[in-house]
Amino acid sequence: MGIYNGPSIYNQGGGGGGGGGYHDGGQIVDGDFMKVENNAVSSYDNTSRDPINFYFEPADGEVINSIIELTTSVNATINVYVVKNGFYYLLGNVGGDTVTAGNDYKVNITGDSYAIENVSNSPTLEMVTIEGNVYGVLKVGSKYWIKENLKGGTDHSGMSYFSRAEVENNYMGAGWRIPTKTELDNLRTSYSYKDLLGSDHWYAGWGGTNASGMDIEAYGYWSGSSISRNNEAALFPYIDNEYGNTLNCMSFGKDSVSYGEGFQPVCSYTLRLVHDV
C-alpha cells in the first residue's frame, strides 16, 4: 500500500487542505464511516456496506499503530482516513482497495500507511497447548477461542479461578489473552445464545445446546471465601475497549448477558482466552 501522498499528516497545521487533504463540508457519521480506536485491535465481522470507510482521530503527535480485523459480506472498497483539524486525509492509494465477500482480512495501519492482508486461508487451528494443558479451539471470524475455561488458576471445587493480579500480569502469554468487549460481542452474535451455553451441568435445565462447542457453564466466581453465583452465571473478565481499555467482567446468565459486573481485586474469576488468527 502506498504511503500517503503529501507531507506527514502528523505535521499538518490545519491549513487550507494542502498536502492532499480535503474537507467535505460535513461531519463523519456512523452511517457512512466507522471510527477505529488508535493503537488498538478492532474487529468488524460481517460488514455489509460498500465502500467500507474507517477513520482515526489521532492526538497531536500521536502515531497510529492499529489493526482492523474484518469479515465482509459484500464485495467492497476499503478506505482508511485520518481526521485532523477538520480535514480528512485518505491513507494509501486514492480509491482504496477491494475486498471479497466472505473473506477475513487484517488491515494493518502504521504511521501514515496501511496494508490489507487476506487471512482466510490461514491454517485452521483445532487444538492448542497452553501452560501444558490442551484445549479445543473454535474459529470465529478472525479469532480463535479456547472451548473451555482456562486451567492453572486456584482450584475451587474442581474449577480454576484467576485473580486480578494474575490477569493483569498477562498470565496467558504466547498471543493468548482475555477478549475485548467487541470480541465478546462478535462471539455472541455468531451463535444463538443457547448454542453458546453448555448442555449439561448447571445449564441442563436452561436449554443450552452447546452447538458452538464453547460449553459455557455457570461456575460463578470466587469471592475470597466461597464460590458465589454458582448455578446462576458464568463470569468472565474482558477488556472494556469502549471505556478506555479498562478491566471489567461480564456475566452469562440463564437468558442473557450483562456487562460491567466489575472486577473486584479480592475476587477470582474463570477465564476464556482469544487469539488473533
What mean pLDDT, rounded, does the chain reach?
A: 78
Question: Is there a contact between 261 and 235 (Cβ–Cβ < 8 Å)?
Answer: yes
Rounded Cα distance between 133 and 151, Å, is 7
Rounded Cα distance between 97 and 116, Å, is 8
Final residue in a domain of this structure, among 97, 118, 139: 118
Rounded Cα distance between 184 and 252, Å, is 11
Judge if 153 and 210 occupy the same domain. yes
Final residue in a domain of this structure, among 68, 97, 118: 118
How are beta strands 246-252 and 257-258 bridged, if at all?
antiparallel
**Stretch 248-254: mean pLDDT, rounded?**
85
At 145-195, the pLDDT tens digits run: 999 999 988 999 889 999 988 887 855 556 888 898 888 888 888 888 888
How are beta strands 159-163 and 154-156 bridged, if at all?
antiparallel
pTM of the model: 0.60
At 78-104, the pLDDT tens digits run: 888 888 776 777 776 555 678 898 888
| pLDDT value, residue 137 | 92
Judge if 106 and 142 occupy the same domain. no
| pLDDT value, residue 1 | 30
Q: What confidence tier does 2 reach under pLDDT thresholds 50, 70, 90?
A: very low
Dig out the grid coordinates for 189 from the structure. Answer: 452474535
Judge if 78 and 135 occupy the same domain. no
Q: Which of 73, 143, 80 lies closest to 111 in space, CA to CA? A: 80
Answer whether residue 79 is part of any domain: yes
Question: Is there a contact between 97 and 117 (Cβ–Cβ < 8 Å)?
Answer: no
Greater model confidence, 243 or 262: 262
Judge if 107 and 165 occupy the same domain. no
Q: Under DSSP, is residue 202 helix (H, G, I), strand (E, B) or coil?
A: helix
Judge if 33 and 101 occupy the same domain. yes
User: Domain range holding 242?
Assistant: 127-276
Final residue in a domain of this structure, among 66, 96, 118: 118
One-letter amino acid at 64 equals I
| pLDDT value, residue 22 | 44
Answer whether residue 53 is part of any domain: yes
At 9-63, the pLDDT tens digits run: 444 433 333 334 444 445 555 557 888 888 777 778 788 888 888 888 888 777 7
| Lowest-confidence region among 50-59, 190-199, 216-225, 255-264 | 255-264
Rounded Cα distance between 151 and 15, Å, is 56
Answer whether residue 197 is part of any domain: yes
| pLDDT value, residue 172 | 56
| pLDDT value, residue 4 | 32
H or E stretch including 167?
A: helix 164-168
pLDDT(227) > 80:
yes
